[in-house]
Every structure is written in structure tokens, then in C-alpha cells.
Structure 1
Amino acid sequence: MIAPAARRTFRLASVVALSVAFAYGLAMPLPFMAPLFAVILTATPGPPPGPKGLLGLLALVGITLGIGLVLNPLLRNYPTSAVLIIAAGLYMSTYLSVGKGKGLVGTLLSVGLTMIPAAGLMDYALASAVVNSLMIGIAVAVACQWLVQPLFPEPRPAGPKPQPPTADPERAAWLALRTVLIVLPPVMLAFTNPGMYMPTIMKSVMLAQQGSTVSARAAGRELIGSTFLAGVYALAFWFALKLLPNLWMFCLWMLLFGIHIGSRLYGVVANRHPPSYWVNVFVTMLILVGPAVQDSTGDDVYGEFIVRFSLFVLVTLYAWGAILALDWMRTSRAQRRPQPQALNPSA
């Protein structure tokens, strides 16, 4: 009998590897999106959605990403108004994630508000293609979950289904404001050159989701540490793939790296990092490796990798600095606020 944590490790690694096989084997546009969403959808223990749930998920994706298509002409003609709408949408997406426990909805809304308008600045047809590739990637990830689930089933919970953690309204509002200030500057930078900074948008969105759940004290270790470790894994993955560069070895290496990361994510191998740390490592590694594989037909794969990773480090340093500065300002304001005087019972 396989322990639940080991079963979840094998399920996560198998779903991601199978998503790589389908996405790259079928030559999907933006193929690295399928394994990326496989990580996002599979990392949280639980059975995959059924056919009805998949249709609902795709409808949700269509709505959230369609918002980005609607914003595209507004961003071209009224950029200030569009940026304010994007900021308000990022605030709402984070509030849904940390205040209402709707993490997936918040992530999809953040992607729709940032990645799709950036692609639309290059070409509206490109933005539509990105929306289609994201929807296809999610469908492929869920289909791979269906194939793997019978091999490594999730045990039925003994009690009622646990509810996702939520924050009180005041803290959720503060974290949402902090996320807007973390994500908006990198996104606006990406608007200047969407083709170059597109992966940076996805990285900033993942940093926002991760940074909204960590304290300022732990932010440096978790955000910076996970980004650098993902870079090390991406380099190791790339040089391992160069030994025999074909789709089968791509899937095999993804399976092995998935088992290695998943064993730490679920606690099979004891470590001091929370699950969000390892999810960020896995997602960042995929964002680095996926475009590198697509760039392998070009002339300067290593140069593109160095530029992409350097941008990730800069975005992460900015996110860490923003968290520290905002939390310091909040603490200073709270200390300056006059405290209510205690009542004297002898008076």
C-alpha cells in the first residue's frame, strides 16, 4: 500500500510528464502552458474535475481571459484608464484568493488582466491565440489527470471536505493592495515590449499569489530562494535533455524532476520549506525550460535563458523589496496611531 504523500508525488509527476507529451507531441501553441497548469491544478490534493466540472472550468477561463481581450482596445486608446482597471482587477483577484479561498479563480483572473492585454498590444490575433492555447492547455492538463487518477487515486477524506484557508477582510484587503503594487510595475514594463517580457508576466503573477500568503520576514527566503533554486533545476534539466534531445527523454526527465520536487512538496522528503515554495520552484522551472526548448531552433538559446532568468531575479527582488517597504510603512503607521486609554477602575 503506497502512502498518501507518495501517491500524490507520483500523481503530480505523472500528470505533468503526460501533459508535456501531449502538448509538445501535438505541437500546441505555447506548449509549456499545459504542464504549468498541470502543476497548478494537481498540486492541491483532490480528485480531478469531472466532465461537467471541466466545462465549468473552461467557461470560467473563457470569461476571465476574455476580459483581457476586451481591455486590449482600451489599452491602446485610453492607456491610463486601462491601467487603472487592471489595477482594480488585480486587487479583486487577490482578494478572491486570500479572502474567499478562490485561488484558481484569482490566478486565472490575474492572467487574463495582464498576459492577454500584453499579447494584444503586439497583435489582436496573437492575444486570441494565447487565450485558445491557455484553454487547450487546461483541457489537456485535466485529461491527463483523468488518465493518471486510476493509477494513483486520492483516498477519500475521513471527514467533511476541508475548506481552503482564508484571511480576515482587513488582512485580505491589505494583501490585495500589496499584490497590486508588486505586480503592476512589472506588467507595465512588459507592455513596452510584450514579446520579450511575456514570461515575466506569468512569473510576476505567480509571485503575487505566493507573496500574498507569506510574511515580510519569510518573503526573502521563500521568493528569492525558490527563484534561484528553479534556475538551478532549469539548467540541470536543460543539460540532461541535451544528452538525448527527443520527446521521450523530455517526458522522462520531467517525470524524474516532478518526483524529486513533489516528494519535497508533500513531505515525503523532510524539508523546512512550505508547499508554496516548491510549487513556485516547479512553476518557475517550467517557465524557464519551456521557452528554452522553443528557442532551441534559434542561435542564442543561452543568451535568451540568461536574459529571462535575470528578469525573473529582478522581478523577485522588486517583489521582496515592495513587501518589506509596505510592511514597514504599515507597522510604522500602526505604532504612531494613538492607543485607547484604559479605564481606571478606582476613578
Structure 2
Amino acid sequence: MHATPLMPLPARRTFRLGAVAAVALALAYGFALPLPFFAPLLALIMTATPSPPMRTKQLLGLLVVVTITLGVGLVMAPMLRYYPLTGVMLVAVGVFVSTYLGVGKGKAAVSTLLTIGLTMIPAAGLMAHTVAVSVVQALLIGLGVAIVAQWLVYPWFPEDPIGARAAKPTPDDSRESLWLALRTMVIVMPPVLLAFVNPSAYMAIIMKAALLGQQGGRVSAVMAGQQLIGSTLLAGVYAFAFWFGLTLWPSLWMFVLWMLLFGMHFGRRMYGVARSRQPPSFWLNVGTTMLILIGPAVEDSSGGDVYTAFVQRFVLFVLVTLYAWGAILVLEWLRARRVQRTSAA
């Protein structure tokens, strides 16, 4: 523990990312928590930005905000059922505001949590109120487990004292942030509407759409295809490799060790330990998408057709990603035309 500062900072961040995800997975599956893959998924999202873990006061504040948001999601389920147009408009406004928090205020993790809460909970509520309550509990417990994992791991791989204070992201300018928030809303809403029509069949794409919206809000139209499509396809390859490794010796310990290995693999590329042509957001999307594919597959292994369900989810993810790419291209083209007309006038 005293020798940790001798380790280079990128290496510490790499070990921390993998260890936090592995500890969160061990706690979630070891205690048989509901929807346990939420814990390592949230751990990856919240640990990706290099910074010290939340203190108790900050955690309580985040839990209050997320609880309120999830509660609003519960309330919106009856509204979507009886007043669908009003409910959809409120969800769209909520996605816009939550995205603006990420791109305009530099609160990426909070933005992702709010977007998931505002879209997944109403969809679950359309199936049954008890299902929505279960998802709310799973998200809150998963968030708490992710923070606890950060508290346990961070003392072993801390940030530099100066770097920890200077790690706050720089927000974008106001007009650009509003445009990116609007673009993200257009990316997220159609897949969410599809899930609202048939929640039991398309629930998984809500999480993917929310993550795509966050990633798509930060890439240019030129790079959107390479980053969005490339990261989704690569996530399928990693998910298959993860599953193959897990089938060699199916146990909780091997599950945790594979998570540690893959988490460190993604961290090496996110923090510059290994050279990569892709930005950190690309590898974060690969890791989160891999977990969205692996988590339900583990649940299906108790009695369902794992491979058929895996292929169906992956095909849906690719289709949603293609839509997100097309939406970015069209919106940026319309924006460029408007700028040209304004300049000509």
C-alpha cells in the first residue's frame, strides 16, 4: 500500500478500473442481488473518469437525486399508459435535461444514471408496477455497491494529490451543449419508444440506447460511424470471448477474475498504458456493452437458450447503433445547411 505512489499514474488507473469492476461483480453476484450486472456496469461508468470516490455526503446527495428521478419514472408509467403523448414528451424533456448535465456541466456519470432512470423505469412500469419497483431497487443497490467497491479499491491505487484536484472535466459552451443534448434526445427516444411498445422484448436496448446517446453526444459526424459501430461490434467479440472463458470453468471466482482481466484490458487503452487509435469513450462503450450482453446471458444460463438470446440482443444493439449513426449524420447535415443559409443571408 505504501509502494503504490511508485507505480505510474496510468497503471494505477488501469488496476483501479479493473479491480473496482471485479469487486462490484463479486459483491453483487456473491450476495445474489437483483439484476446483479448493474453493479459492475455502474462501477465501470463511475470509475472511468479518474477521480477519488464520492464521500458520504456526496453519495447521499447522488442517491437522493437518483431516487427522485427513479420515483418520477415510476409515476410516468401510468401516464404513458393512459396519456402516451404527454408521457413521451416528458421523457424526452427529461433525457434532454439529463444529457445537458453531462455535456454542459461535466457530470457524465450522473447524466447516464438519470437517462437510464427516466427511460428504463417507465418501460418496466408498463409491464407491471412490481417489475418497475424491482428495477429501481436493483439500480439503487447496484449504485451503492459500485461506490463501496470504489471505497475499497481506491486506497490501493490512488490518484496523485495534484491530479486528483485537477481532474474535473471542462464543460462545453452553452449553445454547443444545447445542440448536443438535442441530438442525444433524438438518438435515444426512438429505441425507447420501441421498448415502450413491447417492454419485455426490447428492455435491453434501452440501456444500450442510453449509453449510445451519451457517447454520440461527444463524437463528430465524421467519427460517429467508426466509434459507434466499431465499439458495438467489438463489444460483441469481447462478450463472446468472455462467455467462452467463463464456460471453461463456470464459478463465481472465475467470473470475478475474468472481469478483472477484461476491466484492466479496457483500462490499458483508456488511460494510455497501451497505444490506441480510439478515444477513451470508445473503450468505455465496448466495456459497458459487453457487460449488457454478458449479464443477461448469465441469467439465461439458469434455464433459457443462451446463444439465441445473445444473438438477438446483439442484432438489436447493432440496429440501434446504425440508427444512432444515421441520426447523427442527418442532424449534422441539416445543421450545416442551416448555417450556410444563415451565412448567405
| TM-score bracket for the superposition, by shorter chain length | over 0.9
Tell me the equivalent position of 1:133: 138
Give 1:284 deviation, angstroms. Answer: 0.3
2:270 match: 265
* SS of residue matched to 1:273: coil
Q: Please give the TM-score of this superposition, normalised by the length of structure 2.
A: 0.96
The worse-fitting range, judged by mean Cα deviation, of 225-234 and 88-97 is 88-97
Q: Does residue 1:205 correspond to 2:210, yes or no?
A: yes
Deviations 1:232-285 (A, max 9, x none): 000000011000001000001111111111101111001111110011011000
Residue of structure 2 in register with 1:111 after alignment: 116
Q: Which has the larger radius of gyration?
A: 1
How far 1:338 sits from its partner (Å)? 4.2
Aligned position for 1:314? 319
Distance 2:262 2:172 in 1: 33
Aligned twin of 1:97: 102
Of 300-309 and 87-96, the range deviating more from structure 2: 87-96
Q: Could you tell me which residue of structure 2 aligns to residue 325 of structure 1?
A: 330
2:229 pairs with 1:231? no
Take 1:158 and 1:105, find their aligned partners in 2: how far apart are those partners? 21
Q: Which amino acid aligns with 1:73?
A: P
Matched, 1:79 2:84: yes
Matched, 1:221 2:219: no
Cα deviations by residue, 1:154-178 (Å, 9 ceiling, x for unpaired):
2211595343222222111111111
Give, as a single letter, the amino acid of the residue that structure 1 aligns with 2:157: F
How far apart are the structure 2 equivalents of 1:299 and 1:274? 37
CA contact (8 A) 1:64 1:108 kept: no
Which is further off, 321-330 or 149-158? 149-158
Q: Taking structure 1 as reference, are residues 25 and 333 closer, same or farther at Cα in structure 2, changes over 3 Å only?
A: same
1:29 to 34, 51, 54: 34
CA separation in 1, counterparts of 2:51 and 2:105?
19
Q: Among 149, 157, 160, which residue is 1:152 paired with?
A: 157
> After superposition, what is the alpha-carbon deviation per residue over 1:278-306, rounded to whole angstroms, capped at 9, x for unaligned?
11011000000010000001241100000
Distance 1:29 1:197 in 2: 19
**Separation of aligned partners in 2, 1:272 and 1:239:** 27
- Asked if the contact 2:29–2:36 (Cα under 8 Å) also holds between the matched residues in 1, the reply is yes
Contact 1:65 1:108 in 2 (8 A): no
Structure 1: gaps (5+ residues): 341-347
Whole-angstrom CA distance in 2 between matches of 1:300 and 1:163: 44
Mapped to 2, the partners of 1:133 and 1:152 lie a distance apart of 28
1:17 and 1:251 in contact (8 A); partners too: yes
Structure 1 distance, partners of 2:9, 2:73, is: 39
Other-structure match for 1:182: 187
Report if aligned partners of 2:232, 2:318 keep a CA contact under 8 Å in 1. Answer: yes
RMSD: 1.3
Distance 1:33 1:169 in 2: 32
Residue-by-residue CA offset, 1:25-55 (whole Å, 9 max, x unaligned):
1111110000001001111111111222222
CA distance in 2, matches of 1:277, 1:131: 28
Distance, in Å, in 1 between the alignment partners of 2:14 and 2:107 is 24
- Farther-moved stretch of structure 1 (239-248 vs 84-93): 84-93
**3-state SS of the aligned residue for 1:337?**
helix
- Paired with 1:70 and 1:323, the residues of 2 have a C-alpha distance of 31
Change (3 A) 1:85 1:158: closer
- Given that residues 179 and 212 in structure 1 are in contact (C-alpha distance below 8 angstroms), is that contact kept between their aligned partners in structure 2? yes
State whether structure 2 residue 52 is matched by structure 1 residue 11.
no
Whether the 8 Å CA contact 1:65–1:111 is kept in 2: the answer is: no
| Conservation of the 8 A alpha-carbon contact between 2:14 and 2:268 | yes
Q: Does the aligned pair in 2 maintain the 1:190–1:201 contact within 8 Å?
A: yes
